[in-house]
Amino acid sequence: MKRIAILGSTGSIGTQALDVIASHPETFAVETLCAGSNADLLIQQAIQFKPNAVVIGDESKYEYVKEALWNHDIKVYAGSEALEQIVESGEIDLVLTALVGAAGLKPTLRAIEAGKTIALANKETLVVAGDLVTRLAKEKAVNIYPVDSEHSAIFQCLAGEWNNTIEKIILTASGGPFRGKKKEELSEVTKAQALKHPNWSMGAKITIDSASLMNKGLEVIEAKWLFGLKPEQIEVIVHPQSIIHSIVQFEDGSMKAQMGLPDMKLPIQYAMAYPDRLSSDFPRFDFTKYPQLTFEAPDLDTFRCLGLAFEALKMGGNMPCVLNAANEVAVARFLKDEIKFLQIADVVENAMQNATFIAQPTLEDYLHSDQLAREIAQ
């Protein structure tokens, strides 16, 4: 029985992880649930899964959650410090980090420090401070299992290949709702249009990132740290059907791909159950329904965010942190109708040009860079 802590239990990944846990009660138990501000859903989840403790990030909702769970023998905590402390509990075997944005960094570092296995759905943790996170994980002998479908695909392709040299990896991208469109067509797109992803059901922030291809850029940076790669070993290709989730090419030229219907429950389950594969009732892929799988190069002129991410990766240091922070601000402003879709890339580029570059940042440098980039972006 693996005892799971879910950071971000009320989001898209968190709710699907709980569906997986509910399907395998003999394998998983919920030890801790943490949410940002969705108190009502957190309360529902706690009553259903009976964790030992819950944390609500919004401290103003502490009394409300505490009162609702008073008769259920569930400890209730609130605030970011409680979130960071709870992952150190000796009762936790695996921490699923599914918080949105840079908020996942500190609790993930604390969990690694405490020796907890990590199932990583918060790509920003490695984007912001990949060197710190991976160095600490090696020092503490902690495994980090990827939950993103693309990184899970790479991870699955590498099973049994740990001693073989990777020539390159190819991350696939659906292209999002605006694939094939040019800048002039995107100048007036609406929030509603950007939130209509053709293949995946995800939260608002990641859906906008997918529409701008920034999500793929963040995945490129994450892949560098997860798999110890150089920027030139990472390629992105647009695959509209989202059936091949990513590909590994080895030094002999052979390639391995992981395939399946677009369903996040599969990589979530794989990460939580690793090294075992558990049975599932997930829909199965039928080749006859997909007579063609197509591939095309990404349009970096229209979708500038992907190019900016590669640029940040090549610069290294604190620049991916700056890129991520500015993008979080830009996406939030777009979702509030304060800027246009194409201006997301403008905001990010401006922050990268005006933030102070630090080649070998400390944690304090990362936190300061994050704050500075947000101020510039705002």
Mean pLDDT of the chain: 95
What whole-number distance in Å separates Cα of residue 17 and Cα of residue 263? 12
Q: List, by residue range, all CATH 3.40.50.720 domains of the chain.
A: 2-146
Q: State residue 201's pLDDT score.
A: 66
Is residue 275 over pLDDT 70? Answer: yes
Q: What integer pLDDT is reported at residue 196 of this predicted model? A: 84
**Mean pLDDT for the stretch of residues 170-189:** 93
Whether omega for the bond prior to residue 275 falls within 30 degrees of 0, making it cis, is yes
Q: What is the pLDDT of residues 120-142, one digit of tens each?
A: 998 889 999 999 999 999 999 99
CA angle 207, 208, 211 (to 5 degrees): 90
Written as one letter, the residue type at 247 is I
* φ, ψ of residue 39 in degrees (nearest 5): -65, -40
Q: What is the CATH number of domain 2-146?
A: 3.40.50.720
334: left (phi over 0), alpha (psi -120 to 50) or beta: alpha
The pLDDT value recorded for residue 200 is 65
Q: What is the DSSP string of 17-56?
A: HHHHHHH-TTTEEEEEEEESS-HHHHHHHHHHH--SEEEE
According to DSSP, residue 296 is labeled: B
What percent of the chain has a predicted confidence (pLDDT) above 90? 92
Q: What is the pLDDT of residues 62-104, one digit of tens each?
A: 999 999 999 999 999 999 999 999 999 999 999 999 987 778 8
Kind and range of the H or E run holding 82: helix 80-86
Query: How far apart, in whole angstroms, are the C-alpha atoms of residue 281 and residue 304?
Result: 39
Q: Is the confidence at residue 181, as pLDDT, over 90?
A: yes
Per residue in 34-44, pLDDT (tens digit) is 999 999 999 99
pLDDT of residue 203: 78
What mean pLDDT is predicted for residues 7-18? Answer: 96
Q: What is the pLDDT of residues 261-274, one digit of tens each?
A: 999 999 999 999 99
